Each structure stands twice: as structure tokens, then as C-alpha cells.
Structure 1
Amino acid sequence: MRISFERTGGFAGISKKTTVDTDTLPPDEAATLPRLVEIADLFRLPELITSPNPQSDRFQYKLTVEDNGKQHTVTVSEAALPGTLRPLIEWLQTVAQKK
């Protein structure tokens, strides 16, 4: 499984990008990623999740998941972030900071 993760926006407008691949992660992290994707039900989320009340200086996240020949991209604003997706976003941000 591979996820390309991009965070844009925020006060400074700094973009962060990272790609995480279970083939290159330590075993414990490689086991965590598929569980977080399953909890988020990522493959069933719409491609675009926006907030009815857009707010400036909020982050926007774009995730592209590739797994077993399937690919799905979700773009979500921080203000509209589903609770089920939050643990995956937080985990990806932590991994991105380590790189």
C-alpha cells in the first residue's frame, strides 16, 4: 500500500508532501497504515470533502491511496475533516515530520 499525502494552506501557506509505502516502512508502521486506511473507510469517501463554512488559513489535505491495483484520491478541508479520517491524517503528518 502506498499513500501520497499533501498538506497545503495554513497561515504561512507552506505545502508539505510525502509518500509512504508499506514496503519501505518498519514492520510496526507497515501494519498500522492499512488499519488506519480501513478505519477511515478511505476508498468509500468522496473525492472532495468541503466545509459549508470555508475558513481562510485552514489546511487542506490531499491523499492518494494505491493498494492492490486500486487507487483513490480524497481532498478534504481541515474544517470538514471526518472523525474517522483524523487518525490517518495525524499519523501521516507524524511520518512526514520524520522525513
Structure 2
Amino acid sequence: MQVYLERTGGFTGISKTIRVDADTLPTPTAEELSTLVAAADFFQLPEQIISEHSQCDRFQYRLTIENRGQQHTVIVSETALTNTLRNLIEYLNQLQISQ
């Protein structure tokens, strides 16, 4: 599984990119990542998720996942994140810090 996360916006406007190749991760870490992707039902999400209550200086995320010949991209504003997507994004941020 290949995961690409780009965060843009925010107060400073600095973008951040995370790339994860699950095949290079330790097995427990790769399994946790797969569990989070499944919990978010990622491949069934719409391509864009926007909150009705947008706020200035919030982040926007572009998350692309390729897995077993399937690829899907979701663009979501910070204010529209579901708990499962937030958990996935936080996990990806932790992976980047630990690598």
C-alpha cells in the first residue's frame, strides 16, 4: 500500500507532505495502517469532503492511497474530518516523525 498525504493552508500557509510505503514498514505498523484505512472506509469516501462551517486558516488535506491496484484520492477540510479520517491522518503524522 502506498499512501500520500499533503496538508496545505493553516495560519502560516506552509504545506507538508508525507509519503508512506507500507511494504517498507514493520509488520505491526503496516497492519495498523491498513486497519485505520479500513476503519475510515477510505475507498468508499467521496472525492471531496467540505464542511458547511468553513473557517479561515484551517488545514486542507489531500490523501491518496493505492492498494492492490485500486487508487483513490480524497480532499477534506480540517473542519470536515471524521474521527476515523482524523485518526488516520494523525497516525501518518506519527509515522513521519518516527522515520
Deviation at 1:97, TM superposition (A): 2.8
Runs of 4+ in 1 over 4 A off after TM superposition: none
The one-letter code matched in structure 2 to 1:5 is L
CA distance in 2, matches of 1:76, 1:96: 20
- Tell me what 2:86 maps to: 86
Partner SS, residue 90 of structure 1: helix
The one-letter code matched in structure 1 to 2:94 is T
Q: Which runs of 5+ in 1 are unaligned?
A: none
Aligned-residue identity in percent: 56
Q: Map 1:5-44; keep pairs closer than 5 Å.
A: 5-44=5-44
Q: How well do the aligned residues superpose, as a CA RMSD in angstroms?
A: 1.0
The one-letter code matched in structure 2 to 1:17 is T
Partner SS, residue 63 of structure 1: strand
Deviation at 1:28, TM superposition (A): 1.7
Would you say how many aligned residue pairs link Structure 1 and Structure 2? 99
Q: Is the 8 A contact 1:9 1:60 kept in 2?
A: yes
CA distance in 2, matches of 1:74, 1:30: 21
Q: Is the 8 A contact 1:17 1:96 kept in 2?
A: no
CA distance in 1, matches of 2:29, 2:98: 13
Deviation at 1:56, TM superposition (A): 0.9
CA distance in 2, matches of 1:98, 1:79: 26
Q: Deviations over 1:45-71 (max 9, x none)?
A: 100000112111101111101000000
- Tell me what 1:57 maps to: 57
- TM-score normalised over the length of structure 1: 0.94
Pair 1:67-2:86 in alignment: no
Q: Is the 8 A contact 1:64 1:74 kept in 2?
A: yes
